[in-house]
Amino acid sequence: MLVDPHGRTVRDLRLSITDRCNFRCTYCMPQEGMTWLPREELLTYEEMERIVRVLVERYGFESVRLTGGEPTVRAHLPVLVERLARLGVDLSMTTNGASLGLIAGELRAAGLQRVNISLDSLRPDRFAAITRRDSLHRVLDGIDSAIAAGFDPVKVNCVLVRGVNDDEILDFAEYGRRSGTEVRFIEWMPLDGEGAWAADRVVPAADVVEVLASRYDLQAVGGGALDGSAPAERYRYVDNGAHVGVIASVTRPFCATCDRVRLTAEGQLRNCLFSIRETDLRAVLRGGGSDDDLAAAVEAEVGRKWAGHAIGQVHFIRPARSMSQIGG
């Protein structure tokens, strides 16, 4: 078991497998100036598997989520999924869905259990403005393919920004109810590539629930409280039993129950999404380090885990990396 200085058991790894993406979303990366990592700087699948094995065998890690960039642009992704699935973890993936229609069945067969698909607008023109790609139809096809492949649940993540897409809350609710997906509305965090984040453009989760409740009869799942370390507050539509969620990462942060660490595509271990320092696990791996050396580096980084991200407080420091370089 791996416990941080604040008594939280760490058992969830967010594993970024590439910094590349087939979109240039305004919430993730700058419009210009992105320099992709050379292939040789990325962790290999064998290196990723070794790190995860150490985390599972020594510290009882229970879940791994594959992220990016966009994980589906990494070649032979089902190979990695099969390797990690053999370790017995709850294995999921966050994707923009644009390429998911091509490999959803393969990923499911390889052992991937769940998918979260990012989708910030259901309107083609607005989607193109946000992602800088006219590919809404591909993402919707990817969602359909995930459902057909047997992923359950299929979650759709929508980051709301005031004045951009906050008028689509009920549209997304209807889409989720119709498609059988669980839509989760996420508060915008200060990790956008352009540095345009502002507190007054965050759409509070409480406002989202109020809008949903204006049309639907909602029942809180688990009293509406956080389910352990899970960040989403979930609700059930009384009339059809489908679920919807909100993630109040800014207005009601869940740092007190955070159980995760993140590993970037080039092997930098981060103890918080908003960390301003990292530990280089790639250097340990490629420098001939043993599993004991790897474990020592992990323990040292977890030992520096913060109590919380401090968004909105005077001492908050924005990380130098944008979301696409960290992995969500």
Distance CA 57, CA 86 (A): 12
Residue 125 amino acid letter: D
Tokens of 258: 């955070």
Taking the CB of residue 256, how many other CB atoms lie within 10 A of it?
12
The single-letter DSSP state of residue 55 is H
Looking at residue 227, its pLDDT comes to 41
pLDDT of the residue at 4? 87
What is the per-residue pLDDT for 95?
96
pLDDT of 72 reads 95
> What is the structure's pLDDT at 259?
92
Ramachandran assignment for 40, one of left (phi > 0), alpha (psi -120 to 50 degrees), beta (any other):
alpha
Residue 125 is predicted with a pLDDT of 96
| Annotated domain spans of the chain | 2-326
Per-residue pLDDT tens, the chain, 328 aa: give them: 999 899 999 999 999 999 877 666 666 655 655 677 888 999 999 999 999 999 999 999 999 999 988 999 999 999 999 999 999 999 999 999 999 999 999 999 999 999 999 999 999 999 999 988 899 999 999 999 999 999 999 999 999 999 999 999 999 999 999 999 999 999 988 765 566 778 889 999 999 999 999 999 999 996 443 344 568 899 999 999 999 999 998 888 778 888 999 999 999 999 988 787 899 999 999 999 999 999 999 999 999 988 766 565 555 566 666 666 666 6
In the three-class reduction of DSSP (H, G, I as helix; E, B as strand; rest coil), residue 60 is classed as coil
Torsion angle in degrees (nearest 10) through CA of 115, 116, 122, 126: -120
Query: Which CATH number applies to 2-326?
Result: 3.20.20.70
pLDDT of residue 255: 81
